[in-house]
């Protein structure tokens, strides 16, 4: 049978390890979210002045279609 000191030590070690695993998981999720965010860009329509966000296309040209009027626009550069 375990004495109380060993039990408390094992319990605290498991708690610290669990918090560490939770931290790693949250960091991993945040990295995935940021990678998806980096692939998106803001656009301003030249025709209707609508500001929208769209995923950058995989093709060479970096234009996206306005959801309101259908005009092809280049991304905003800050």
Domain boundaries, the chain: 1-38, 40-78
* Burial (0-12, 13-18, 19+ Cβ within 10 Å), 52: middle
Phi and psi torsions of 4, nearest 5°: -65, -35
Q: Tell me: the pLDDT tens digits for 6-61?
A: 999 999 999 999 999 999 999 999 988 887 776 678 889 999 999 998 877 666 56
CB 75 within 8 A of CB 62: yes
CB 40 within 8 A of CB 53: yes
Q: Which of 61, 39, 58 is nearest to 72 (CA)?
A: 61
Note the pTM of the prediction, 2 decimals: 0.50
């Amino acid at each position: 049978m375990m004495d109380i000191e060993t039990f408390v030590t094992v319990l605290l070690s498991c708690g610290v390890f669990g918090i560490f695993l939770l931290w790693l998981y949250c960091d991993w999720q945040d990295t995935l979210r940021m990678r998806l965010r980096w692939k998106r860009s803001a656009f301003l329509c030249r025709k209707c002045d609508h500001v929208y966000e769209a995923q950058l296309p995989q093709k060479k040209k970096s234009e996206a279609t306005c959801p309101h009027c259908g005009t092809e626009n280049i991304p905003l550069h800050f």
